[in-house]
Structure 1
Amino acid sequence: MLDYCEQCIEIILLMFSTTLTQVTDFIITASQDGHVKFWKKKEDEGVEFVKHFRCHLGVIECISVSAEGALFCSVGDDQAMKVFDVVNFDMINMLKLGFHPGQCEWIYNPGDAISTVACSEKSTGKIFVYDGRGSNQPLHTFEKMHTAPLSQIRLNPRYRVIVSADKTGMLEYWTGLPSEFKFPRQVEWQFKTDTDLYEFAKCRTYPTSLAFSQDGKKMATIATDRKVRIFRFLTGKLMRVFDESLTMFTELQQMRQQLPDMEFGRRMAVERELEKVDGIRLTNIIFDETGHFVLYGTMLGIKVINVETNRCVRILGKQENIRVVQLSLFQGVAKAMQAAPTIEMKASENPALQSSDPDPTVFCTAFKKNRFYMFTKREPEDTKSADSDRDIFNEKPSKEEVMAATQAEGPKRVSDSAIIHTTMGDIHIKLFPVECPKTVENFCVHSRNGYYNSHIFHRVIKGFMIQTGDPTGTGMGGESIWGGEFEDEFHATLRHDRPYTLSMANAGPGTNGSQFFITVVPTPWLDNKHTVFGRTTKGMEVVQRISNLKVNPKTDKPYEDISIINITIK
């Protein structure tokens, strides 16, 4: 899938990063393996691919776009900075830094004589300022402004002030080359004790993302404690605090259910994994063009918060099976690729010469996904066709991936039908080995090996589903035929749109083992969360009888054990 954005944004997540320039309508994506791609926002809808660069030999640490959208840079663990001309999508400079870079940011304004870029050293608090079009020699070095590695550097172009933050929670205001890197005179404070900028240090946290409103008067932050803080930029005073911690979401779910319990548990597992790999530092926050709304990703989706009224006005992508990390916002009208206009056309204000149909789009990336996503208000042209999948795959698989997928696996291990013999009767199943080859193979091999024999239906929810496949009978056990867990296999034509659907149980994305369940009603909220790999063709009354068993209200386990005798694979 593709990803775009209209404001200069930065690095993405574990797999992918993106940035967008509002002036030139370009989207730039960067992956963890050192690749950078340029995309162009189309006039009607969507994006088109422009150019691909193999920028760095290692991991890309940070990317940045200048305030006017003309220059783009990336830094990587190969100790190099690459500079690009966005409009001409071409590399124009390469700097050998001589240290492992951390954060980078263009800190010049349109009209400045020198295009300065700031870059921090990852292991220290040093900040080096370079001429982005010049040599490897820094123009200025901040040796002692920060005592710890930096987490953010951001330019407020409206007031020509740079804000940097380090991992001890300290924030510093400073200016660029035209003001000789001194303390800014534009702000309304002289001593930091007159502000609330010590808030992060007091809470023993630090900001992982900074953003400024278009008028420069508000500064939004996300910190490692999962709190969103909005400051008045000129005074440094705290304006709003929004708690997005896991404790808050748990209490909210208990007070008023936001998601089905199974789905809420899955998302909590993803959040804990995100914390485990330090993925929270990759989450960003952005303002819309009015400066009244901030957008950021949460476990419920993309929250849109009105900072003036203190209300959440919308949650985007609540039903999607992704954890949004980085996002960008396009609110303008993409410029058409036309012949050069005449002087008369440029001077006129004829609305017929301009596109008047805006295409507001949110571009985002997600945790452990090597793709980017677009949320728009446009309806798809065809939603009923099986070929109208939202995913757009713009690259062919690598040679290694093709070879791995086509390797011979010996005798046929899958089938398209099975009979589950239970102590309450037989359930006939149609399987989908073409759409879900790995899931069906796991089920068939386990069945032939007698793995499922004597397994009880350990979880039964009346009016929902019956679940089995756990050798421990607790819902906590089971593994795949390969040992451990395997990935999901979602397909556009296989949905939880009817009762008696056979689907894999899991504890989150990519955690399939041996447990499976059969629904007794349509369950569309499970789409793209659980792999559908079969349908019941006969024995529906057996499924219904099992679902009507009396169960322990605390564990959903039937008082009477109903077990699988064996499973016949045809």
Structure 2
Amino acid sequence: MAEDGLKRPREEEESDEEIGGDDSDDDIGPSIPGAGEKKVHKKKKLAHEKLYLDNLPEADRYWKSFMHRDSVNFVTMTKTNFLITTSVDGHLKLWKKQDSGIEFVKHYRTSLRAIVSVSASADGAMFASVSESAKGGPGGEGRVFDVVNFDMINILKFDFTPKAVCWVHEPGSGSTLLAVSDVDSPKIRIYDGRGDGKPLHVLEKIHRAPVHLMEYCAKYDCVVSADEAGFVEYWQPSEPWGLPSVPGMWQYKSATDLFHFKKTKSIPTSVTFSPDGNHWACLALPSRTVHVFNTLTGKLTRTYDESLSAVEEMQQAGTAVFKLDDMDFGRRLAVERELDASESGPGGALRTANAVWDESGSMLLYATMLGIKVVNTVTNTVARVIGKDETLRFLNLALFQGAPLKQVQTLAMAASSNPLLEEKAARDDTLFATAYRKQRFYMFGRGHEDDARGERDVFNERPTHEERTVVIEKKQEKKALPTAATIHTNMGDIRLELYPNIAPKTVENFVTHAKNGYYNNVIFHRIIKKFMIQGGDPTGTGSGGESIWGGEFEDEFSPLGTHDRPYTLSSANAGPNTNGSQFFITTVATPWLDNKHTRHILGYYGAKSMVPESSCSRRDGCTACGNDAADPGASVSG
């Protein structure tokens, strides 16, 4: 939620009253010109706001996603046009930004444990990651990468468990200084990224609690760090390791707002400097607020409240950026509460959330339960929301702006009207995002990307060992199972695509029942508007039906069988491994049903035009209206 700005100081309000005068009879003499007129405060405007927004993604849905083998926790865009993604299983992938989209470059297994922190150098030439010990005890390791040559050049072994990592050298300095903090002490160790792994310096007096956050500002050669106690410090990464000697920078911490986190009993979880280095933005927990500080003065200039109570209040009052359906809002709110309960502490997924600046330094992007907000920090308004149609909870962000192909352009080339040159100069502004408990990272563009270039969700990873085992064991059975079916109802036909390679037993149960006429004259006995319709119970009560084997059978969950889109068919159950004959068809995306109900249909034809008409306002067990008196009578073709 973007506030209307910070409240003016009391002294300023009082001075306005004095200048404006009052109606007291004690005033004697000529009045001051304009004394009776109220001062009009003009709303702030950002020059070239439309241009800045035109150079940012605006799509309501992501246009492409790529896979890791486990949940992706960090995405980092370097100044050398490389995207680096990491996952909780210790894998790292390098991607090169192309004129349109990205291209895979290289894959590294950096650790057997989760990567806890990453950092790219200010010039984009170096990248580092740190992870816990593979044995689970004290200790850990760091990996150093030469980004441009996509090569791992060093492995640092630690006798302590690392917490945060940050490159702290100036661009073009020739040195590669890497700061690493300790999870069990306030020490910060400085290493040579190309060295032998022995610390060059050990800083013990900057903080009094373990440091979980460090960010370097090349403009002022300054590091902003934060510890678990809520204290924020400035320090220069060279002797004497104190406050930088920068003209205009604060000298006394009491004159800043850096004690704000301690006062509010919150801690910053991310720090991002604006492109000009004059401001830095941070997210704070558990307050769920977004703060913007002035780098030189240390003063708090903006605060945006994204707490759940504030979001609920706006939803009820209808003052939110956009109003969600009550069921969708409740589902998203449940995810947020789950994040608060289990993922807001050290090492939690919510700690990976961050904010990013656009190239102008006036637009701030950060993920919320409603989508990715683009906030104009000058006018204090939400300019747009990216990805608001997605059911994903986005967390970590990285932004690319500009044209990836940088080559020398002659005057003749600039003056020509060659369409090929114009195409190469076109911008491809892209926002990259991770999502909660998702093994993919997502790309948002300008909204006019050509979807015909391939699948939206790219399967760039091999199937797991378990998935391959299922395929081998069920090979003969799957050959005999059909891949298509048709449900005939009094509202029309629903044509289905069956995928026995994902859920062979569930498909076999459905197909065999249909061939045996088990579903003939069976109604959709349960209809919930904007959720699903349920059928497959010959008794019509919702409590009957059994599998072809008699009784119940086990679930068949798969990463490929998700409920991320409407009109998916899944087995209805009363709990784990209680599948029978009943099934349901969703009318909206229902990702909260993943790993709770076996989905065995990936495509629908005809359901989109029929299912909404069969949706009534009854909540459960609806048998009165004609819409649900459908005859599924499924006929099966191979």
> Structure 1: how far apart are the matches of 2:511 and 2:334?
26
Matched, 1:181 2:241: yes
Determine the structure 2 residue equivalent to 1:402. Answer: 468
Q: Show the counterpart of 1:389.
A: 455
**What do residues 467-515 of structure 1 show as CA deviations (whole Å, max 9, x unaligned)?**
56899979xxxx99435977673699xx75xxxx564599xxx999888
* Contact kept? 1:436, 1:490, Cα under 8 Å: no
The answer to whether the 8 A contact 2:95-2:106 is kept is yes
In the other structure, the counterpart of 1:135 is 196
Q: Is the 8 A contact 2:292 2:300 kept in 1?
A: yes
Identify which of 372, 375, 390 aligns with 1:320: 390
Q: TM-score, normalised by structure 2?
A: 0.70
Partner Cα separation in structure 2 for residue 217 and residue 285 of structure 1: 16
* Aligned pair partner of 2:72 in 10, 15, 19: 15
- How far apart, CA to CA, are the structure 1 residues paired with 2:385 and 2:578? 29
Q: Pick the aligned partner of 2:311 from 249, 263, 267.
A: 249
Q: Which amino acid in structure 2 is aligned with residue 246 of structure 1?
A: L
Quick check: 1:414–1:441 contact (8 Å CA) kept in 2? no
The number of aligned residues is 523
Which residue of 49, 72, 92 maps to 2:104? 49
**Partners of 1:472 and 1:189 in 2: CA distance:** 72
Deviation at 1:301, TM superposition (A): 1.3
Partner residue, 1:150: 211
Q: Distance in 2 between matches of 1:136 and 1:542?
A: 63
Q: Does residue 1:368 correspond to 2:428, yes or no?
A: no
1:234 match: secondary structure = coil
Cα deviations by residue, 1:30-75 (Å, 9 ceiling, x for unpaired) = 2222222221111x21111222222223221211110011111111
1:260 aligned residue: 325
Unpaired runs of at least 5, structure 2: 1-63, 134-139, 416-420, 544-550, 594-598
The residue type paired with residue 93 of structure 1 is: N
Q: What amino acid does structure 2 have at the position aligned with 1:34?
A: G
Higher alpha-carbon deviation: 224-233 or 389-398: 389-398
Name structure 1 gaps, 5 residues minimum: 5-12
C-alpha distance in structure 2 between counterparts of 1:208 and 1:408, whole Å: 47
**Distance (Å, rounded) in 2 between the aligned partners of 1:193 and 1:33:** 43
Contact 1:444/1:569, CA 8 A, preserved across alignment:
no
CA shift in 2, pair 1:303/1:408, >3 Å: same
Instruction: Say whether the 8 Å CA contact 2:65–2:456 is kept in structure 1.
Output: no
Per-residue CA deviations over 1:422-466 (Å, capped at 9, x if unaligned) read xxx999765432289439817946996999x999945544x9864
Cα separation, 1, equivalents of 2:336 and 2:455: 27
Change (3 A) 1:203 1:270: same
Match of 1:36 in 2: 92
| Closer/same/farther in 2, CA of residues 232 and 473 from structure 1, 3 Å limit | farther
Q: Among residues 72, 97, 100, which one is paired with 2:127 in the alignment?
A: 72
Alpha-carbon distance in structure 2 between the residues aligned to 1:64 and 1:543: 48
**1:289 offset after TM fit, Å?**
1.2
Alignment partner of 1:219 is 2:280: yes
Shift, 1:83, TM fit: 1.4
- In 1, Cα distance between the equivalents of 2:386 and 2:105? 28
Partner of 1:377: 446
Larger Rg: 2
**Alpha-carbon separation, structure 1, partners of 2:451 and 2:163:** 45
**What RMSD over aligned residues (CA atoms) do the two structures have, in Å?**
4.5
CA distance in 2: counterparts of 1:489 and 1:330, whole angstroms:
32
Judged with a 3 Å threshold, the aligned counterparts in structure 2 of structure 1 residues 191 and 435 are, in CA distance, closer, same or farther, namely farther
Deviation, structure 1 residue 357: 1.7
1:542 and 1:133 map into 2 onto residues whose CA distance is: 62
Q: Deviations over 1:258-316 (max 9, x none)?
A: 22233222222322333323321010111111110111111111111011110110111
Q: Residues of 2 paired with 1:162 and 1:542: CA distance?
A: 57
Q: What percentage of aligned pairs have identical amino acids?
A: 38
> 2:209·2:229 contact (CA, 8 Å) conserved in 1?
yes
**3-state DSSP of counterpart to 1:247:** helix
Distance 1:176 1:351, change over 3 A: farther
Other-structure match for 1:9: none
Measured after TM superposition, the shift of residue 15 of structure 1 is 3.0
* Structure 1 counterpart of 2:399, from 311, 320, 329: 329
Q: Say which structure, 1 or 2, has more relative contact order (CA 8 Å, 6+ apart).
A: 2
* d(CA) in 2 for partners of 1:205, 1:446: 56
- Return the match for 1:228 from 272, 279, 290: 290
Mean Cα deviation higher: 429-438 or 483-492: 483-492
Contact 1:284/1:325, CA 8 A, preserved across alignment: yes
Residues in 2 aligned to 1:440 and 1:319: alpha-carbon distance in whole angstroms:
33
Supply the distance in 2 between the matched residues of 1:469 and 1:265 (Cα, whole angstroms). Answer: 28
Written as runs of structure 1 = structure 2, the 5 A alignment for 1:108-507 is 108-177=169-238, 179-186=239-246, 188-224=249-285, 225-256=287-318, 258-275=323-340, 276-277=342-343, 278-335=348-405, 351=414, 355-377=424-446, 379-383=448-452, 388-398=454-464, 401-408=467-474, 417=485, 430-434=495-499, 437-438=502-503, 441=506, 444=509, 457-461=525-529, 466-467=533-534, 481-482=553-554, 489=561, 496=566, 503-504=569-570
Give the equivalent residue in structure 2 for 1:7. Answer: none
- AA of the residue aligned to 2:289: K
Query: Which amino acid in structure 1 is aligned with residue 295 of structure 2?
Result: F
More off after superposition, 373-382 vs 296-305: 373-382
Pair 1:26 & 2:119 matched = no
The code of the aligned residue for 1:489 comes to G
- Tell me, in whole angstroms, the C-alpha distance in 1 between the residues paired with 2:128 and 2:310: 38
